[in-house]
C-alpha cells in the first residue's frame, strides 16, 4: 500500500516551515504551521497541533501580522474549546 495523500501533505507541511524560515518568510512559515496543525487535528494528534498553532502565533507576532494573529488565535481557541474542554483558555 502506497503513501496516502494526507501523509504526502504532512510531509510537505513538515518541510515548508523550515524553508520559509530559511528565507525569512515568517507569514509563510506561520501559514504552513496552521495548515499542518489542521491535518494533525483530523488525525487526533491534538497536543502536536496545539504546539504548531502556538508556533504560528509567535511567527505572526514577530512580524506584527494582525490578520495572522487572529487566525492563529482562532485555531487555538477552537482547539481548546472543542478538543480540550478548556473553556477558560478558549476565551
The model's pLDDT over 33-52, given as tens digits with 9 standing for 90+, comes to 999 999 999 999 999 999 99
Q: What single string gives the DSSP state of each residue in 20-62?
A: HHHTT-HHHHHHHHHHHHHHHHHTT-HHHHHHHHHHHHHHHHH
Q: Are 30 and 59 in contact (CB under 8 A)?
A: yes
Q: What is the pLDDT of residue 1?
A: 60
The pTM is what? 0.84
Please state the rounded mean pLDDT for residues 45-68.
Answer: 96
Amino acid at each position: 500500500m502506497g503513501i496516502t495523500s494526507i501523509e504526502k501533505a504532512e510531509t510537505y507541511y513538515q518541510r515548508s516551515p523550515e524553508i520559509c524560515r530559511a528565507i525569512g518568510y515568517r507569514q509563510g512559515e506561520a501559514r504552513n504551521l496552521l495548515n499542518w496543525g489542521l491535518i494533525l487535528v483530523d488525525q487526533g494528534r491534538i497536543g502536536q497541533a496545539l504546539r504548531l498553532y502556538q508556533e504560528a502565533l509567535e511567527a505572526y507576532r514577530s512580524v506584527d501580522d494582525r490578520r495572522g494573529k487572529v487566525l492563529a488565535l482562532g485555531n487555538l481557541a477552537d482547539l481548546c474549546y472543542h478538543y480540550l474542554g478548556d473553556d477558560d483558555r478558549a476565551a
